[in-house]
Chains A and B, each alone.
Chain A
Amino acid sequence: DQQVKQNSPSLSVQEGRISILNCDYTNSMFDYFLWYKKYPAEGPTFLISISSIKDKNEDGRFTVFLNKSAKHLSLHIVPSQPGDSAVYFCAASAGNTPLVFGKGTRLSVIA
């Protein structure tokens, strides 16, 4: 039973446009959400996070939105750059439980 779902395995966006990556979760106990970015042959790197007490967190070109009622979060990248091409994982935790990861979305930013 997947508690964290990333329903789009891949996404292509033109350079300069907005990339929107989506994530849905089923466990209402999740209270902390993270996005990790992974390049080939490297480990995931932390990108941005959001606590359940917020509905938005922004860091430069990256913004994460949380809709608790819909159990949905999204990562917005604007403007998208070719170096953003990677696999993006959504993850969630409930208190001090281990992180639960989605299957990832492969983003391709086309120059």
Chain B
Amino acid sequence: GAGVSQSPSNKVTEKGKDVELRCDPISGHTALYWYRQSLGQGLEFLIYFQGNSAPDKSGLPSDRFSAERTGGSVSTLTIQRTQQEDSAVYLCASSLMWAGTDTQYFGPGTRLTVL
């Protein structure tokens, strides 16, 4: 079956603009995660969704960041009033269930560049 897909693959925007990043998880996976990787850094957890439960937003760096997951499937990460420090690769992952031991499958990422 298809893996996790993300769009766009690259996004260049001007400082102050809003951007939306999309993630299509693997069909049937109930857990969905967003991470970002800044230059020279590891993967930084942002937010995760598990089924119908309230998302864990503990990793979101500021209130400019938000995410939603519609119908338990597709997710959109929105960054408002982008700043240059938001430039990074944003990665989405999904897993069958939410458990620390459940394998997460990653998409190819969206490279965001804020000028």
Contacts and interface: CB of A to CB of B under 8 A. Distances in A.
- Interface magnitude class on chain A: 20 to 34
A100 to B, nearest CB: 7
A44 B56 contact: no
Interface residues of B, number: 26
Given A98-B33, A98-B48, A98-B59, A89 B42 contact: yes
Nearest to B111: A41
Q: Is the interface of B mostly helix, strand, loop or mixed?
A: loop
A4 interface: yes
B91 interface: yes
B65 interface: no
Interface string B73-97: 0000000000000000001010000
Contacts, number: 61
Contact of A44 (B40, B43, B48, B98): B43
Interface of A: 4, 6, 31-32, 36, 41-46, 49, 51, 89, 91, 93-104
29 contacts: A32-B100, A36-B106, A41-B108, A43-B4, A43-B106, A43-B107, A43-B108, A44-B43, A44-B91, A46-B103, A46-B104, A46-B105, A91-B43, A93-B101, A94-B100, A95-B100, A96-B98, A96-B99, A96-B100, A97-B100, A98-B33, A98-B48, A99-B43, A99-B104, A100-B45, A101-B35, A102-B42, A103-B41, A103-B42
